[in-house]
Every structure is written in structure tokens, then in C-alpha cells.
Amino acid sequence: MSTPLIIIISIAAYFGLLLGVSWIASRGSDNATFFTGNRRAPWAIVSFAMIGAMISGVTFISVPGMVVGSGYSYLQMVLGFIVGYFVIAFVLVPLFYRRNLVSIYGYLGERFGQSTYRTGAWFFFISKMLGASVRFLVVCIVLQALVCEPLHIPFVFNVIITIALIWLYTVQGGVKTLIWTDTLKSFCLIMSVILCIYFVAQNLGFTLPEMAGAISDHESSRIFFFDDPKSGSYFWKQFLAGVFMAIATNGLDQDMMQRNLACRDHRQSQKNMIVSGIMQFFVIALFLLLGTLLVIFMDHKGIAIPAKTDEIFGIVAWHESMPAAVGILFVIGLIAAAYSAAGSALTSLTTSFTVDVLDGQNRYDDRKLTGVRKSVHVGMSVIMGLIIIGFYYFIEQDAISAVYTVAAYTYGPILGLFVYGMFWQKPVHDRWVPAVCVLSPVLSWIIQYTLDHLSGYKTSFELLIINAAITVIGLRLLSADKHPHNSRPQNTTGS
């Protein structure tokens, strides 16, 4: 059986299972189900589902290859993630539940005014759309190489089909569907990585102790980097960036918080956040262990390391000496990660655009809101497809770095808005907030460029902190002596 046919059958089988779970989860759904899951999701299920939600196709493809140039330095950042999740659990979660928010950006409207509210929603829209597109681009590239090119299918058609499949299983049930499909994804993802580790070790003739020894002795298994503060892998840069990156891309991201806000109350949501954050560390560690094994395998077989290390996992999975099961596991794990990540992005983008930008809950009755929400869902799918096609021809860096680079620029203003809102009580001139949020990423880029060319300092993901700090400084400069007269969003809470 040919490789393209094996992959098509694997995708069809997984997607059939996905549609079955989606259909069961979405029965009797309405707008409240789509936006908040009726706030009835069990925290333990959400916690396990969040493992899959935090891991995209980019993680599946890119993290194993990262060991070539960066070792296990990514774990330094993941340690920072855990601290960030505790901050989210005990600072942001109670705040959002107290206000019974459907979209978390409703807080900005209550705290600052309409201009800031819309600014936060638009920055989320840009951040999530670009980030999700980069993540899903990786999957489309793999499918193009393994399936579409042998069958002479153009890349554009590849994108159209994959986006259409994602739209199909998320259109009805929204966040409730995502929680249950993410549970399926988490199981498939973890099992595929564990089984791939087993099969690669078996091919190399390693027993469990021998595998552990080979990994620990390999140069790629270094975790901590304290020697060069100018390096992008320096521990404190990675750790602190991880703390703030977790807060920005999870706690201040409608996509991730939409799941957490589906729990019955804030205490249930806190349990979910902490448990899923700790479990993520061990799952990422599995990916890195697999990465070292893949490098050892390639050295053993005399296979050259490719220029783009994102290709390593796929090369080994489909190597002639590997059983077909490894290739199938690779495809299932990749598709499970990618479909879920893109599906959750479409759901959160639809929610934020309908609630925040269109003010749909205030302007329409429930029947009209359903139609608007479905139209927005189609629009988000089309925009994502167009961006993926554009990125295909222009992006060059490894995907995981591209995702966090985009996040550092686009989530920085969002982080700054929330930090100022929670720690400074003085109001600001609301109408000038959009200018500050646009200027902050520009100044961040100038600082990054200047530090590199004048001192050789390589700004890594701490760029997010710089970006947020500039936003806070700008808001302080805009602070007003009196509360400006702003109309608060009429119904950004409840459903």
C-alpha cells in the first residue's frame, strides 16, 4: 500500500471518530453551548483536554527537531509556563468568573472603555489568526509532501480541504465540542509519542536502561543554560519569558480561557489550570526525548540532518527500516494536534468577533445571533486559509520560533493592558489607547534591532515582556485625573 493511501485512510479514520465525538457532544447545543459550554464541563475532563489544547501540530513537528540546535532548553521556558499557570489560576480565573464573562476582553471595556475593549479584541484577533495559521501551515506542508505532491494536488486545494474539515466539526457545538474532541486528541497525541519512542528504540536495539543512557549521554540532552546571558537559550531569559508567555497566550487568550470558563466555578477552573500546566511539562519532555532518539537514529543510519529541523520526525517516521505503524502514528498524532488547535482557534475567533467586535449579544435576538455566528465562522475559516497560503511562500524560520515571535509582538499590548488594569487604579484617556498598543510593537522591534547590532545581545522571547512594559508606560502617560466618560459594553457578561 502506498504512503499517500495509508495517510488518507489514517486521516479518514481519525476524522470519522472526531465527527462522531463532535456529533454526540453537540446534541441540543445553542449559542450558550457554543460560547461557554453552559459552564457544566467537569474540571478533570477539561484538564486532560487542555494538554492537547496546549500542544499544536507545531509542537508535534518542531519540538523534536529543536534538540539539534537548542538541546532541551525549551524545558526552561516550560518551567516558566508552570509559574504562569499558577498566576492565571489565582489572579485571572477568579477575576473572569466574578464578572461572568463570555469574552475575557469584556474586562477591558469595564475597566477602560469602548476603545480599549475593541483594541484588546482586535489584537487577540490578529494574534490568534496569525499564530493558528502558522501552526496549521506545518501540517499542510507535511500533507503536501506526503500526500498531495505524489497525487499532483496543488497546495491551495490541500488548504481548502483541511480547513473545510475543521469547520465541519466545530460549526455546531463550539467550546463544548472542543473539550471532548481535545480529550480524544490528548489521548491520541500522548500515545503516538510514547509508541514512536518505543518503535525507534526497538529499531536501534535499545533496552529501556540503554535508551535512557544513550539519551542522557547525547549532546542534545542538555537542559539548563546559565553560561551566556546574551544567548537566546540563557536560563533566566527563557524562564521569565515562559512565565509571561503563559499568562499572555493562555490566561489572556480567548481560545484557551474559553475552555477554562466552561467549568462550573472558579475553583474547578483553578484545579484544571494547575494540573494541566504541570502535565504539560512531562508531555513536552516526551517530545524532546523522542527528538534525541530521532537524531541518534539518523546518525546510526547515516542520514544527514536536514537544514529545516522540522523535517526530522517525518523523515524517520517514514524511513524504510521503520514499520508502517510508526508512519501511521506520526500522521495520527500530527492530525490530532493540528485539527484540534485550528478548530479551537476558529471557535474562539468566532466568539470574540461575534461578541466583542459585532456586539452580537446586544444587537441580535438568539435566532439572528445564531445566523451571524455561523456566518462569522465561515469568514474566519476563509481568512485563515488565505493567511496559510501566504505564509507558505514567505516563512523561513522553524515553526515553533515563528509562533512565539508572532506572539511576542501581538500579545505584548494585551498583556500590558491587563497588567495596568489590575495593578493601577488610575483611569486613562481611552481614545488614545489604540495608538499606544500599535506603537508598542514598533518600539519593541527597534529595541530588538538596536540591541543586536550595537551589543550582539540576542533578544529572545523576552521581547514579550519589553512589549508589555512599553504598553504599561504608555498607559501611565495617558493616565487621566478623572474617570473619562466612557460607555461600558452593555452585555459582555453572561450568555
Q: What secondary structure letter does DSSP report for 303?
A: P
Q: Where are the domains of the chain?
A: 3-405
pLDDT band for 58, please (50, 70, 90 cuts): low
Write down the pLDDT at residue 170. 65
All three cell numbers of 16: 470519522
Query: Among the ranges 82-86, 142-146, 326-330, which has the highest mean pLDDT value?
Result: 82-86
CA distance 251 to 453: 34
Is 60 exceeded by the pLDDT of residue 28? Answer: no
Give 101's strand partners.
Answer: 493
Mean pLDDT, rounded, for 164-184: 69
**How far apart, in whole angstroms, are the C-alpha atoms of residue 66 and residue 297?**
16
What 3-state class would DSSP assign to 320?
coil
The mean per-residue pLDDT over the stretch 110-135 comes to: 84
What does the pLDDT read at residue 3? 72
Q: Which helix (H) or strand (E) holds 75?
A: helix 74-87
Give the model confidence (pLDDT) of 337-349 as tens digits.
777 667 777 877 8
The CA–CA distances, whole Å, from 146 to 6, 315, 330, 386, 394 equal 10, 10, 12, 22, 21
Q: How confident is the model at residue 26 (pLDDT cuts 50, 70, 90)?
A: low
Q: Which range (137-146, 321-330, 398-407) has the least confidence?
A: 398-407
> What digits encode the pLDDT tens for the residues 437-474?
999 999 999 998 898 888 878 776 678 889 999 999 99
Task: Give the least confident one: 43-57, 249-263, 363-377, 406-420.
Answer: 43-57
How many other CB atoms are found less than 10 A from the CB of residue 392?
17
Which fold would CATH assign to domain 3-405?
A: Sodium/glucose cotransporter (1.20.1730)
Pick the more confident residue, 347 or 73.
73
Look up residue 408 and give its three cell numbers: 511576542
One-letter amino acid for residue 474 of the chain: G
- Which residue is it, cell 509542537? 59
| Alpha carbons 136 and 338: distance in angstroms, whole number | 6
DSSP 103-156: STTHHHHHHT-HHHHHHHHHHHHHHHHHHHHHHHHHHHHHHIIIIITTTT--HH
- pLDDT, mean over the chain: 81
* Residues 159, 138 contacting (CB under 8 angstroms): no
Binning pLDDT at 50, 70 and 90, where does residue 174 land?
low
Answer for the pair 330, 196: CB distance below 8 angstroms, yes or no. Answer: yes
Grid coordinates representing 224 are 539548563
Give the up-direction half-sphere exposure of residue 270: CA atoms within 13 A in the CB hemisphere.
Answer: 14
